[in-house]
Amino acid sequence: MKLATWNVNSLKVRLPQILAWLRMHPVDILCLQETKITDDKFPFAELASAGYEAISAGQRTYNGVAILSRHPLSDIVRNNPLYPDEQQRIIAATISGIRVICAYVPNGQAPGTDKYAYKLEWLSAFHRWIEQECHDHPELAVLGDYNIAPDDRDVHDPAAWTGQALVSPAERSAFERLAELGLKDAWRLFDQPENTYSWWDYRQAAFRRNQGLRIDHILLSESLSARCTACIIDREPRKWERPSDHAPVIAELLL
């Protein structure tokens, strides 16, 4: 069983790349963020032809999340039931007995801004809900773009990033509090190469210079992390023409 997450930065633009990537990596479940597409325009038919059932919580212009699955999806939830939010950032479903949550955490812009306050409030409500989900679903996977680099190892230039959003102590603390619920960062279950990131700015040839951040994560409950055999970040699609600025992250589970 393979689960993956990918911030595609526009499903409309990236659909051919998603289909190509799925042919190379026929994962069981793919969580998407920043689809930027309303549900009525969602490419259900193209994905079905590729073997994937899809569910979407979409909106125009910004945000939007979706789950693609080779297996049936049930108990679909859109948004955090504890936090009314007009921005479409969460979709969840049960797939093959695993509770799968796909999340697009707010960016936060910069400490001191309204967007940063929204991010922290959103994360606080997210924690309260995930705590319940952990209780209700021992087999829980929370995948997505967290917009948090948990550790200085996840930042190409920690000194340059000090004090900025994505690395601030309050954001990292929110991430650690999820870990305290028993959720483990699948990436850190294994020895990993240094300087591995999941996002690189489009500007300044950041990808070529590997100036990135690791902000896309797969968190696994205890029972799932015990069965996790690998976690990788696939840099290849970032090299393609007109790429997303994020790379997919994949976790493999014994099932």
Partner DNA sequence: ATGGCGGGTTGGACCCGA
Kindly list the catalytic residues.
Answer: 104, 145
Binding status of residue 62 toward DNA by CB under 7 A: yes
Minimum separation from the CB atom of position 105 to DNA (A): 8
Minimum separation from the CB atom of position 12 to DNA (A): 4
Tally Cβ neighbours within 10 Å of residue 230. 12
Task: Please identify, using beta-carbon distances, which residue of 106 and 248 lies nearer to DNA.
Answer: 106
Task: Please identify, using beta-carbon distances, which residue of 140 and 174 lies nearer to DNA.
Answer: 174
| Dihedral of alpha carbons 238, 207, 156, 63, sign | negative
CA distance 206 to 210: 6
Torsion of CA 87, 93, 99, 100, to 10 degrees: -50
Task: Please answer whether residues 167 and 155 qualify as being in contact, where contact means their C-beta atoms are separated by less than 8 angstroms.
Answer: yes
Q: Which of 23, 128, 163, 202 binds DNA (CB under 7 A)?
A: 202
Tokens at 254, concatenated: 């014994």
Burial 101-112 (b: 16+ CB within 10 A, else e): bbbbbbebbebe
Task: Please identify, using beta-carbon distances, which residue of 80 and 147 lies nearer to DNA.
Answer: 147
Binding piece for DNA, criterion CB under 7 A, among 22-30, 109-117, 183-191, 222-230: 109-117
Contacts with DNA, residue ranges (CB under 7 A) = 7, 9-10, 12-13, 34, 36, 60-62, 106-107, 109-110, 115, 145, 147, 165-166, 199, 201-204, 213, 215, 242, 245-246
